[in-house]
Structure 1
Amino acid sequence: MKKMSRNKHYPILHKASKGATWFFLLASIILLGYTFYRSEIVGGGWYGDRYFKYYLISVFGILFWGVVLRLKDEVRLNLVVMISSGVMGLYVAEVFLFVTAKDPRMVSAAQASFHFDSRTKYEVYLDLIRKKVDAVPAVHPMQFVPTNGIPVGGVAPLFPFGGVSNKTTIMCNESGEYAIFPSDRYGFNNPDSVWDNKKVKWMLTGDSMTQGSCVKPGDEIAGQIRKLTQQSVINLGSGGNGPLAELAALEEYAKAREPEVVLWVYFEGNDLVGDLQFEMKSKFLVKYLREELSQDLINRQKEIDSNLIEYINEEALAQEQVEKKSYRVIHDLLGILRLLNLRVKIRFDNSFVDMDADMKPIFGDILRKARDRVGQWGGKLYFVYLPANIRYAGGHQDLGSLYSRDDILSLVKGLDIPVIDIHEKVLLNHPDPNALFVFKDAHYNKKGYSLLANAIVDEVEKRPLTD
């Protein structure tokens, strides 16, 4: 009787397994289409290495489930049960990670006995406006890559590399407290008075590590160099910058002050595989490399301010929708569907070992142009190599292939640009290099920036500018 009862359910189970097979086949087709959309349309074809594994998974899934459809009912049922159990296990792990996830910023603040400011940047902005503070959220050049700059009057685009001038600028929060700085006359993180000098000693170009994320004004690399040397230092860094934006910032702002020492601050974590790939999507940015381009931004700050404020107001309206609870719920559910927490946990999307071959010659051309431009007024370009926290948190201190470190240093030395290697000078022999970052995968902290600045000043003072 039991055997007859079990056999009676087989047709239902076989039908269910066939339906599940069609579901998995359809999911594989959707994944293939979504991968193509993210890689080729959104990414412009520059992120093929990152999405290659998803192409493999989706194509394999289509072929596999196509074959499963043709198998005998019994075999198909067993395969579907086994694979469905595995998929369910993945989603159980994903939900567990989502529920138990702790914001590393809150952990960092608790360890330092700081109160953690849990407000979003948008909420901080609104609170400051209510208090009649003339505040703006930080705006970064990379926000304008998809649109090739800001269209101005339907004519040539305006591509800013600074922010809104003379404003209380809200940057970021990693340690529990928001980093907020008064922007200078061109929207950068400097005391405005540094621009009163007709010539300056130091100038830095770089990304968020250079701008000063996420420390108080004066604790960033430029501020620390200013304290150490009592000399004029201008910081052109901005979050998200890649090599093209860093070159463009020099083209627009350096010549007017002819700095003696120019620091090209390179962060191994994303400057090439990520930032430069993204920048290459902008035909306008590429002109800074291929042509002799200047937008004369140093004389157009009023125009920059008005356009950026208009942009910020539009973004504020969009952010108002994002802040709604319903949006957050949908966002969280989509993250779970995409196994976001699990992928982050196992670093599934990281592709930091090999540098994209297409980026190496482009990066070399960018550095060559920067070196020659700085040399025109008798200045000296230094290449500052900043290592990422994963090099130490993951135990990869001596791995030369990590982020193509050996290739990058060889390229720079081949261009006869002096290298200040922060990995060797500071972190390699430090008793606890992880203590120089706010937390894993975060920016350097105040102590880290201080040690970086000391190493940079020591190295520059050792080498005459005529070398």
Structure 2
Amino acid sequence: MSIIPPEAISRASADRRIRVFFSQICFGLAIFELILSMASLVRALTGATHFSPQGTIAPLFFAGVLLFLRSRRTKAGTEISLLAVFFLFGLMLVDGVLDYTSRPHRNLSYSREQRAKELGIPYDNRGIPKVVTMLRDDGVNAYPHIAPSFLVGRDHEPLYPMGGISGKTIVFCNESGKFSVYPSDRHGFNNPPESWDHGAVGSLVIGDSFANGACVQPGEDIASRLRAQGISSVTLGMWGNGPLIELGSLVEYAPTLRPKTVFWLFYENDLDRLVNEAEDPLLRRYLDPAFSQHLIDRQDAIDAYLIDTVRSMYREKGIDLSRPAAEAPVHYQLAGIDFDWKQMGLNLDHCIQIASLQQLRTFVENILVYKHSGATTGLFKQVLARAKSVVGAWGGAIYLVYLPEYYRFAPISPLARLEYRRLHDAATMAARDNGIEVIDILDIFNSQPDPIGLFPLRMYGHYTAETYDLIAKVLVNRLER
């Protein structure tokens, strides 16, 4: 009878413990992936997000692989499990890094406050909920800014507003130290109340938050600077607008104003927004010349809908807009800023994205082909063609004004530089193919000795008041040619 050496018994026991350990890791990771897969599906079914096949199927696939490896209890199976776990962790780590570096909005409020301190600039570090509640406590009928883009993917029957809440004090944003707060006009836009009284106007500014005047004081936005130079101007800009919403605002409101010139502001995330907007059947109907919601005559219904929506959104955060500021929830008073776990980017959506390797897949796809080729750029051409037709009905002219973002002028990778060039070419070509002249603000920024200085606190964000004024002067010069 042979005697098994103690060393062999010890090794066998150690091997068994290792197999059990990695079996537990595989099982735990599999459960995590299954939870994320189910969460992705549930969020899509409840309308919280759009359905993502990759966000549901990829974690499910990884869970299946991990459970299969867990069933392989042999030494070879353990080694394969070990390699698979490290490989999956490695992929998720790379995806997490790409996700982190691709999202510039992470806790920017705190970073701006620190930069302002370094520069000796006073900085209001309150969050929007606190500003709103304090204004309401002082008797001001204030509301947080709510825009059409907030409604993409939501149930917006029986109407889809293209403007905001009318006749109220709107708390907008803060990127330079002081909050942008403005009185909304009769249709919820950032214009003087008399802007709609005189019929035809010299120019109309269409776009997103840059057309809306983020995040500067009243009178410092592009439309205001055009008015200061003698050109009657109205803006229909709202935060987060993409091309289909911008077309909708043009269809609904421009015929009343009959502007001689329409400045269509194109920012460098507009095609990303178009992808989301294209999934909304109502927004796509604006490509039909016969379609209109007749919103200009429905402001009472729009106000009721938006006020109910914004109250509901804030109620989900534990904030009652009718509550005095002194009773605001404690977690919104910490350090005077809006602070929750989402500020750190640790929300469910990002866990699902990382588990499905979304950024890594996008990175590889972008190397092979431009992400907005084909259907998206084709749809953008259709949007511009429809916009030109609308403006041409009264003999007006339309320009596409190309606006660059901050990261063009910061140190970036060769791939990012390639993406910017592809985006610029796609957007400007879509305009020129429709016979629309392009006013390229990128050229203006590139001609400046310090382009980063065109942004508040020299950080990612919108433009300074001086930059908006510079753009307005460029537009006026083009009209005077």
TM category (shorter chain) comes to 0.7 to 0.9
* Alignment of 1:390 onto 2:390: no
Aligned residue in 2 for 1:429: 447
Q: How does 1:392-411 map to 2 (within 5 A)?
A: 392-395=409-412, 399=418, 402=421, 404-411=423-430
Equivalent runs, 1:246-265 vs 2, <5 Å: 246-265=246-265
How much does 1:23 deviate?
A: 2.1
Distance, in Å, in 1 between the alignment partners of 2:362 and 2:209 is 20
Secondary structure of the corresponding residue to residue 380 of structure 2: helix
CA deviations over 1:107-144 (Å, ceiling 9, x no partner): 34224422222222111111000000121111101222
Secondary structure in 2 aligned to 1:381? strand
Partner of residue 154 from structure 2, selected from 139, 142, 147: 147
Listed one character per residue, the Cα deviations across residues 396-455 of structure 1 (whole Å, up to 9, x for unaligned) are 69646546221221121111000001112x112222212212254311222222222222
User: For 1:70, which of 51, 69, 72 is the aligned residue?
Assistant: 72
Alignment of 1:301-450 (within 5 A): 301-320=299-318, 325=331, 331=342, 335=346, 354-395=371-412, 399=418, 402=421, 404-424=423-443, 426-438=444-456, 439-450=458-469
Distance 1:412 1:338, change over 3 A: closer
The within-5 A match list for 1:36-435 is: 43-44=49-50, 59=61, 62-63=64-65, 66-67=68-69, 69-70=71-72, 72-73=74-75, 76=78, 80=82, 83=85, 87=89, 103-149=110-156, 151=157, 157-227=158-228, 229-269=229-269, 271-273=270-272, 275-320=273-318, 325=331, 331=342, 335=346, 354-395=371-412, 399=418, 402=421, 404-424=423-443, 426-435=444-453
The amino acid across from 2:271 in the alignment is: L
Cα distance in 2 for partners of 1:349, 1:131 equals 51
Question: Structure 1 stretch 71-80 or stretch 237-246: which is displaced more?
Answer: 71-80
Structure 1 residues 359, 403: closer, same or farther in 2, change over 3 A? same
CA contact (8 A) 2:208 2:238 kept: yes
> 1:249, CA displacement in angstroms?
0.8
Letter in 2 for 1:160: P
For the residue of structure 2 that corresponds to 1:251, the secondary structure is: helix
1:256 Cα shift? 0.9
Give the Å deviation of 1:42.
5.3
Is the 1:203–1:233 Cα contact (8 Å) retained in structure 2? yes
Q: Aligned partners of 2:196 and 2:107: how far apart in 1?
A: 45
Contact 1:135/1:170 (8 A) holds in 2: yes
- State, as a whole percentage, how many aligned pairs show the same letter: 28
- The answer to whether the 8 Å contact 2:172/2:180 transfers is yes
Q: 1:332 to 1:422 in 2, by over 3 A?
A: closer
Letter in 2 for 1:72: T
Structure 1 letter corresponding to 2:479 = V
Moved more, 434-443 or 247-256: 434-443
- State the SS of the aligned residue for 1:385: strand
Unaligned 5+ runs, structure 2: 1-5, 321-328, 333-337
Listed as ranges, the gaps of 5+ residues in structure 1 are 152-156, 463-467
Q: Distance in 1 between matches of 2:123 and 2:427?
A: 38
C-alpha contact (below 8 Å) 2:27/2:70 kept by paired residues: no
SS at 1:158's partner residue?
A: coil
> Is residue 214–residue 443 contact of structure 1 (8 Å, CA) maintained in 2?
yes
Tell me the CA shift for residue 331 of structure 1: 4.7
TM-score, L = length of structure 2: 0.79
Greater CA drift, 372-381 or 393-402: 393-402
Question: Is contact 1:400–1:406 with CA below 8 Å preserved after alignment?
Answer: no
User: What is the letter of the counterpart of residue 132 of structure 2?
Assistant: Y
Structure 1 equivalent of residue 19 of structure 2: 14
CA distance in 2, matches of 1:333, 1:182: 32
User: CA offsets, 1:239-287, max 9 Å, x none?
Assistant: 0111111111111111112100101111112x112x1122122222222
Question: Do the aligned partners of 2:69 and 2:81 also contact (CA within 8 Å) in 1?
Answer: no
1:77 is displaced (CA, Å) by 5.7
Equivalent position amino acid for 1:427 in 2: F
Asked whether the equivalents of residues 50 and 153 of structure 2 are also in contact (C-alpha less than 8 Å), the reply is no
Segment drifting more, 405-414 vs 388-397: 388-397
Distance 2:75 2:271 in 1: 50
Q: Distance in 2 between matches of 1:349 and 1:138?
A: 34
> Would the alpha carbon gap of residues 404 and 35 (structure 1) be closer, same or farther in structure 2, given more than 3 Å must change?
farther
Q: Structure 1's 398 and 14: CA in aligned 2 closer, same or farther, altered over 3 A?
A: closer
| Aligned AA (1:335) | L
Cα RMSD (Å): 3.7
How many residue pairs match? The answer is 441
Per-residue CA deviation, residues 16-73 of structure 1 (Å, 9 max, x unaligned), is 221112222333444445556668975545x77xx58x96676467436634642633
Between the aligned partners of 1:360 and 1:133, the Cα distance in structure 2 is: 44
C-alpha change, 1:272 and 1:86, in structure 2 (3 Å) is closer
Deviation digits for residues 71-103 of structure 1, max 9, x if unmatched? 633762685399569959959x99x99xx9772
Q: Does the aligned pair in 2 maintain the 1:13–1:77 contact within 8 Å?
A: no
The CA distance in 2 between the partners of 1:457 and 1:284, in whole Å, is 35
Partners of 1:268 and 1:403 within 8 A in 2: no
Amino acid at match of 1:316: Y
